[in-house]
Structure 1
């Protein structure tokens, strides 16, 4: 069983597939074109042939109709791999502040339970927070569900969900300076690359650090580099104090 504790449990006995959820790629936002109470009644009618895992009211109420281990009938070809949230309102509406918060709470729960990424999805092959219309014909051809005003609110839902789980964006990957070539340091250059290299040698416990851009490569720097090469176990021509491609790649000098 997979019930969300933040919802009122309103189980239905028809219009869903037991144990039919193959995977959880994300959560899909829908609009009811009606009220929470009316949708609750409709999902219990066998003629509806429709359901949703969750539903929100404009006042902040949350219903769960279908266990997330089961397949709700909300977005046709996406039913087996996406959870669904129906939202009280009609086409052209925006979600209320209460609904934005409730959807964010459900998304945060899906992130914790199923690893759903806290990002906006744009197609059925993606993952995260999606919307009914993105599935096109395979999802029943509903381009206006939930409508452009609500689609524009999806980043707000994601932002609120991130705050709930305290997800911090990953820092950008360090960009390392490419090897400048065998002759570069033999010309005793003045370069910011020398500054960046000096910082790395100091961080590695070897060498001296000269503050300021563009110090000149000197014999002292060469001795520091040789000490680092030996410390890292390089021998022969790879421990002569001159940067070569192998030792340069091992030092990992950030781009200045």
Structure 2
């Protein structure tokens, strides 16, 4: 048996082949054209004649319906040598970041369990992370599954899987350079102010702007002063105006 420990185990009694997984070339990404709950119900219906090994929800839930030693009914002639993962959504959608994380986690597990290389599959005769439409008519002719937006996300999923598997360095975060104290005196509006405000909210401030749009306001200054004091700064370093030291401590991401 091969069950992925981080998935919610929801075995289905029908619509799969016991055993029959001759080899594992990789993991195939699908789109449900529906919800995770609806797909879970459909796979238990004898009329469906369909199933998948795994499934993700938009908010990050992960189900496993079929043991990977068994053959799920997901991509016709590809069932015997490829595992499958369905994803909540409809054609034309992109995957959420949470879904990409879950797929990356499953793919890293497939890599460790079956030796599948961490790469985007070049086709049905290749190995790696694939997608339903790449199989053409022999895989059921689902040329719009999972859709071009999701196919474009596959390299990002592979990169996440590599980091999880320890085969790629974790990129260092990039932080915005301090724009200088004078920058804030004129109540500027900019993407940098928005990014700074989001960091303050993430740090526990309840709000970061009282004015329209991404503008540095008196409300921002008070929130920043409160945050500065919380971090142990005092004197002119806790006056509500960004300085070089407190800016470095806030770690505003590059915009």
Please indicate, yes or no, whether the TM-score normalized by the shorter chain is above 0.5: yes
Matched, 1:67 2:33: no
User: Which structure has the greater CA radius of gyration?
Assistant: 1
Partner SS state of residue 101, structure 1: helix
Once the two structures are superposed, what CA deviation does each residue of 1:105-151 show, in whole Å capped at 9, x if it has no partner? 00000000000100001311000000000000100001100000000
Instruction: Write out aligned runs for 1:90-239 (5 A).
Output: 90-168=90-168
Distance 1:57 1:8 in 2: 12
TM-score (norm 2): 0.66
Distance 2:5 2:140 in 1: 30
Distance 2:2 2:40 in 1: 20
CA offset at residue 168 of structure 1? 4.1
Partner SS state of residue 155, structure 1: helix
Determine the structure 1 residue equivalent to 2:2: 2
Determine the structure 2 residue equivalent to 1:34: 34
Distance 1:47 1:96 in 2: 30
Partner SS state of residue 126, structure 2: coil
Determine the structure 1 residue equivalent to 2:87: 87
Distance 1:128 1:43 in 2: 25
Distance 1:113 1:122 in 2: 21
Distance 2:52 2:9 in 1: 13
Structure 1: tracts of 5 or more residues without a match? 170-256
Number of equivalences: 169
Once the two structures are superposed, what CA deviation does each residue of 1:68-103 show, in whole Å capped at 9, x if it has no partner? 000000000000000000000000000001000000
Partner SS state of residue 19, structure 1: strand
Distance 1:123 1:164 in 2: 24
Partner SS state of residue 31, structure 1: coil
Distance 2:36 2:80 in 1: 24
List, as ranges, runs of 4+ consecutive aligned residues in structure 1 with deviation greater than 4 Å.
Answer: none
Distance 2:166 2:159 in 1: 10
Once the two structures are superposed, what CA deviation does each residue of 1:227-251 show, in whole Å capped at 9, x if it has no partner? xxxxxxxxxxxxxxxxxxxxxxxxx
TM-score (norm 1): 0.65
Determine the structure 1 residue equivalent to 2:48: 48
Structure 2: tracts of 5 or more residues without a match? 170-255
Partner SS state of residue 19, structure 2: coil
